[in-house]
Structure 1
Amino acid sequence: MGSGLTQRAVAAGIVHALVVGVTFGLLLCSMADMRRAQLRAGHSTQVLVAANRLERLTVDMETGLRGFALTGQDRFLEPWRAAVAAYSGQIGELRRLVADDAAQRARAERLAAAGSSYVHDYSMPLVAAAHHEPASVTTTAVAEGKRRVDLMRADFRALVSDEQSEVRAQELRSEAATREARTVGAAGLITSVALIAACTGYLTRVVVAPVRRVAATAGRMARGDLAARVPGGGPGEVGLLERAFNTMADTLARNREELAASRSRIVTAADQARRRIERDLHDGIQQRLVSLALDVRTAQTAVPPGRGELGERLDRLADGLGEAVDELREISRGIHPAVLSRAGLGPALKALARRSPLPVELDLNVPDRLPEPVEVAAYYVVSEALANTAKHARATAATVRAEAREGLLRLEVRDDGAGGAAAGGGSGLIGVTDRVEALGGTLTVTSPPAQGTTLVADLPTTGH
């Protein structure tokens, strides 16, 4: 059978899950890169802040010391003392921040050594000498301090430059990770939408459309078209559904044909039995009663004068036999009208209209004889309809139309009665409906209340 729809749906779901999983994984990786870049940039920012603070302390030491050396005033030593007190802790913070970077750690070590040498080997002895003998502080000694600080500031600039480069690199990396995340997200979204659209289109084509065809074909079958079929060849379970549906339709059509054939055989057998009974009544009992009536009339003529009582009794007997013949003829006509077999549908309907207790207007367009089953069914349709009109409709008149053309006989019986009739229940039309459907025809009754009743029967005239 090949891969079924279930396997295909599972495969599509797995592919979609893989796409979503890979996209989500790549997004997580990009977000992790962004996070690392942001953390590294934040760390570099902390290094820059610590370096800037340390450089300011160095500058404060140098300017305070130089101001004291040039003026001899102790107030210039306050910035120097504050910078010396904070320098050790700040250099320790910088060394901690750059511990994982060898180049920056080396610079921090040099700055720590240079700062310690500046404080202990240069500035403190200079301050002590200035306090003891101010004249011993020369311009050369002051210039030495500036030289030491300039060397330290060169290391500061190198350290800050490297950290700024690192910050820029991390910003670029973060931007690249952001772009990558956007690209991955957009690609994943587009791929997911494309997969969903493809799955939707596929399901519409191989599932929804065939199911709709099956539903439409089922509707046609419900309306009586048992020849309707769905095209096979669908994939997987849809193909099984189509084949099962067509098999069911074949079975229904076969059962309907068998039912129609059975009903046709029953109707044919009933019609043959009616004709046989009518013929037996006409040729047997009816002829015998007519003969007896003639014999009575003959005997009546032979009654001698003076025997009037006997003549009256024979006259009553002859009249009774005549009434019996008439009643038997009416019964025989109801079982199977002889005029239908002899002259066809048109004369039979005219005779039926003449016998109706209501005025019946005829509009007949049946120029030729029709197949016998069609004529019999048409006759009984009109007969039963007129009988119902006379019994139940409270009508004043009826119209009968019959037209045969293009392989179809259409009958229409209309009255101006109370309406509200139906083909089922006790209307007497159930047997007529069976007779019509046995020939492949249809019978409909339209009977709105207070608007009369219209019965329409369509009988195919071919294939019988």
Structure 2
Amino acid sequence: MTAGAVLALIVGGAFAVLLVSIADLRDSWRREERSAQVLAMANRLERLIIDMETGQRGFALTGQESYLRPWDAAVAAFPGQAGELERLVAGDPGQRELARRIAAAGISYIDDYSAPLVRAMRAGGGGARDAGTAEGARRVDALRGEFDTLVAAGLSLTRAEQLRSGAAAWRAGAVGVAGLVASVALIGAYSHYLARVVVAPVRRLAGATRRLADGDLRARVPERGAGEIGVLERGFNSMTATLDRQRAELAASRSRIVTSADQARRRIERDLHDGIQQRLVSLVLDVRATQATLPRSPGLTEPLDRLADALGEAVDELREISRGIHPAILSEAGLGPALKALARRSPVPVELDVDVPGRLPEAVEVAAYYVVSEALTNTAKHAEATVVTVRAHVADGRVRLRIADDGAGGATTGAGSGLLGLADRVEALGGTFTVDSPPGQGTTLHAGLPVTEAGRDPGIPASR
């Protein structure tokens, strides 16, 4: 049963008891009111009997008709009042019997005693006066006894109804307070339950969602929720796990692409170096050897000189192309010497600060080299700079590069920019790449590449 159903049951039960108690109170009030009416009617009937007795005695003593006016009114009113009394007590057998006896005794008192006595006294019978006084007192005393019994019964009934009303009122109040306390307690418990089972998990989900929006694909939430909350938690964790796995697969794919491209560049560089470059060098040597064996003749010497020079220039151009594809010094000596060679060839003066102990993983060295190479090329082509500062060092398990110039600035990593390719290369290895290039204030590149101990070759000395 849910908390809402329990609360509804408690409130409904409390209201049911309250309604029953209110109904009891109303019944008690009606019975009290009826008892009060019975007592009032009994008092009026008793007053009528007293008025009859007083009137006939006054007339008997004085003979004056004025004493009979109350008697006449009482005689006329008594039957109707007695009938009203019987109606009021119709629901109580005991009181109904008393009312019937009072009505019968009163009517008998009027018909059998009082009315004949008054007629006799009006006719002038003195003996009737004397006999009527004693008989009247006896009859009136008997009626008063009946009235006293009826009044006592009415008072007892009134007290009982008052006690019943008090009990019903107390019960209604107690049930109301108990229902209120139970409702407040249940609402408090339900609120605590909601806070623990619904609000807290939703807040955890909201926090994890914010972390996910900030790029943290490892955000997870405990799967402790029940019902739909548990479904949400499991769905969120499944979604983030899928995104994290896909990101890892994408990063691995990008890294494989970069590595494959670097390996292809190395193969091309090696093929050029070991193939066509060696052949051209061999041709140059053959031409020089042929020049040495032939006699000096202007018709032969000059063409051979031009051929040897052209072949030498082709070798130099091929060597430069090969170095641009993949510098041999990077593979042979490492990042430090390769950066120094870059600095020497740069048309813009370079201030170089390299602190890279030992060899680094090949992919890291290649990426770092091309970051510096592309930055120097862009500076020479676009920046109009007078000096470039290059700093490379290893800290906290990362190769950190900083390339800054004093040129025109305004460089971006937007589409069509060579910097975009550098950013892709660095990020493919799990690194970071940022560009700070306000117009007119030069350009500063920052790159950070993660280094793994397994990627180092401790047998190669540190590069300085």
Could you say which TM-score interval applies, normalised by the shorter chain?
0.7 to 0.9
Q: Is the alpha carbon distance of 1:244 and 1:306 closer, same or farther for their aligned partners in structure 2, counting shifts above 3 Å?
A: closer
Q: Equivalences for 1:55-66 in 2 at 5 Å?
A: 55-66=46-57
Q: Is the alpha carbon distance of 1:215 and 1:450 closer, same or farther for their aligned partners in structure 2, counting shifts above 3 Å?
A: farther
Instruction: Quote the residue 1:181 is aligned against.
Output: 172
Deviation at 1:336, TM superposition (A): 1.4
TM-score with structure 2 setting the length: 0.83
Cα offsets for 1:294-326 (capped at 9, x unmatched): 66677789795776xx87776665555554444
SS of aligned partner of 1:195: helix
| Counterpart contact for 1:388–1:427, Cα < 8 Å | no
Instruction: Quote the residue 2:401 is aligned against.
Output: 411
Q: Equivalences for 1:336-415 in 2 at 5 Å?
A: 336-356=326-346, 358=348, 360-388=350-378, 398-415=388-405
Deviation at 1:92, TM superposition (A): 0.3
Instruction: Tell me, in whole angstroms, the C-alpha distance in 2 between the residues paired with 1:59 and 1:109.
Output: 19
Q: Does 1:113 align with 2:107?
A: no
Deviation at 1:94, TM superposition (A): 0.5
Instruction: Tell me, in whole angstroms, the C-alpha distance in 1 between the residues paired with 2:217 and 2:255.
Output: 19
Instruction: Quote the residue 2:449 is aligned against.
Output: 459
Instruction: Tell me, in whole angstroms, the C-alpha distance in 2 between the residues paired with 1:148 and 1:448.
Output: 128
Deviation at 1:369, TM superposition (A): 2.0
TM-score with structure 1 setting the length: 0.83
Q: Is the alpha carbon distance of 1:207 and 1:415 closer, same or farther for their aligned partners in structure 2, counting shifts above 3 Å?
A: farther
Q: Equivalences for 1:178-327 in 2 at 5 Å?
A: 178-232=169-223, 234-290=225-281, 292=283, 320-327=310-317
2:31 aligned partner, one-letter code: R
SS of aligned partner of 1:425: coil
2:371 aligned partner, one-letter code: V
2:342 aligned partner, one-letter code: L
Q: Does 1:41 align with 2:22?
A: no
Instruction: Quote the residue 1:431 is aligned against.
Output: 421
Deviation at 1:33, TM superposition (A): 1.6
Cα offsets for 1:226-277 (capped at 9, x unmatched): 4444434554554454444444444444433333333222221111111121
1:130 aligned partner, one-letter code: M
Instruction: Tell me, in whole angstroms, the C-alpha distance in 1 between the residues paired with 2:405 and 2:137.
Output: 131
Instruction: Quote the residue 2:461 is aligned against.
Output: none
1:409 aligned partner, one-letter code: V
Among 440, 445, 448, the alignment partner of 2:430 is: 440
Instruction: Tell me, in whole angstroms, the C-alpha distance in 1 between the residues paired with 2:391 and 2:325.
Output: 23
SS of aligned partner of 1:267: helix
Instruction: Tell me, in whole angstroms, the C-alpha distance in 2 between the residues paired with 1:394 and 1:45.
Output: 116
Instruction: Quote the residue 1:145 is aligned against.
Output: 136
| Counterpart contact for 1:417–1:452, Cα < 8 Å | yes
SS of aligned partner of 2:448: strand
SS of aligned partner of 1:370: coil
Q: Is the alpha carbon distance of 1:324 and 1:236 closer, same or farther for their aligned partners in structure 2, counting shifts above 3 Å?
A: same
Instruction: Tell me, in whole angstroms, the C-alpha distance in 2 between the residues paired with 1:449 and 1:149.
Output: 127
Deviation at 1:290, TM superposition (A): 4.7
Among 95, 106, 117, the alignment partner of 2:86 is: 95
| Counterpart contact for 2:121–2:129, Cα < 8 Å | no
Instruction: Tell me, in whole angstroms, the C-alpha distance in 2 between the residues paired with 1:257 and 1:404.
Output: 25
Instruction: Quote the residue 2:74 is aligned against.
Output: 83
Q: Is the alpha carbon distance of 1:372 and 1:98 closer, same or farther for their aligned partners in structure 2, counting shifts above 3 Å?
A: same
5+ residue gaps in structure 1?
A: 1-9
Instruction: Quote the residue 1:69 is aligned against.
Output: 60
After superposing the two structures, state which structure 1 stretch, 153-162 or 384-393, moved more: 384-393
Instruction: Tell me, in whole angstroms, the C-alpha distance in 2 between the residues paired with 1:306 and 1:259.
Output: 66
Q: Does 1:328 align with 2:318?
A: yes
Instruction: Tell me, in whole angstroms, the C-alpha distance in 1 between the residues paired with 2:378 and 2:145.
Output: 124
| Counterpart contact for 1:293–1:322, Cα < 8 Å | yes
Instruction: Tell me, in whole angstroms, the C-alpha distance in 2 between the residues paired with 1:185 and 1:90.
Output: 44
Deviation at 1:356, TM superposition (A): 4.5
Instruction: Tell me, in whole angstroms, the C-alpha distance in 2 between the residues paired with 1:169 and 1:100.
Output: 16
After superposing the two structures, state which structure 1 stretch, 338-347 or 226-235, moved more: 226-235
1:347 aligned partner, one-letter code: P
1:436 aligned partner, one-letter code: V
SS of aligned partner of 1:367: coil
CA RMSD, 1 decimal: 3.5
Deviation at 1:374, TM superposition (A): 1.0
Instruction: Quote the residue 1:126 is aligned against.
Output: 117
Identity %: 66
Cα offsets for 1:82-127 (capped at 9, x unmatched): 1211111111010011112121112111211221122222222222
After superposing the two structures, state which structure 1 stretch, 413-422 or 250-259, moved more: 413-422
5+ residue gaps in structure 2?
A: 456-464
SS of aligned partner of 2:418: coil
Q: Is the alpha carbon distance of 1:407 and 1:166 closer, same or farther for their aligned partners in structure 2, counting shifts above 3 Å?
A: same
SS of aligned partner of 1:402: strand
Instruction: Tell me, in whole angstroms, the C-alpha distance in 1 between the residues paired with 2:441 and 2:137.
Output: 124
Instruction: Tell me, in whole angstroms, the C-alpha distance in 1 between the residues paired with 2:282 and 2:50.
Output: 159
| Counterpart contact for 1:72–1:134, Cα < 8 Å | no
